[in-house]
Amino acid sequence: MTQREKMLSGRLYWADNEELLAARLRARKLTHAYNATGPEEGERRREILRELLGQMGEGTYIEPTFRCDYGSNIRVGRWFYANFDCIILDVAPVTIGDNVLFAPRVGVYTAAHPIDAGVRNEGLEFGKPVTIGDSVWVGANVAINPGVTIGSDVVIGAGSVVTRDIPDHVVAVGSPCRVLRPITQQDRDYWLRLREEYHQNR
């Protein structure tokens, strides 16, 4: 197996080989170009993201600055929005569903290092994929750790550190992040009422 194949399969791999160095340089150049665009250059931003990301759904928008390791291992669905200073370390696949919102300074980290110092000091590392479902709102300064799956219809509170899977239809907060409560019909009724008031008073 190549080092890239080992990386994507979750095995230990050596990152400083020619293929991966070239892939990371490509991502650095593209993110540098993206972050240098002006606010009026929407089409140029979309062009760069289409080249950078493995998959990009309709309506995707990422505020500069944005950083990633490779970009090609990131797949986002429709109407994905990431606010300022998003970081995605995609040494393993990152899959993000439709209608997902990232507040400022969200970090998605698939990259990890061995706990044993001797092995770690040899420069070996590994990654575990991250999956985020549909209709998820991730609050500011959230860290999503390697191997985590977040379900659909979820709110992750600001400052949380997500170290384990989060089920569908919940509010989850904390470090480590835990389910605080389910999202209920009462929640839906409340927000539907406010939406109705908004439309009536436009």
Q: Which residues are catalytic?
A: 113
For the chain, strand residue ranges (E) read 13-14, 55-56, 61-62, 66-68, 74-76, 81-82, 86-89, 94-96, 101-102, 107-109, 111-112, 124-127, 130-132, 136-138, 143-144, 149-150, 154-156, 161-162, 170-173, 178-182
The Cα 7–Cα 14 span in angstroms is 8
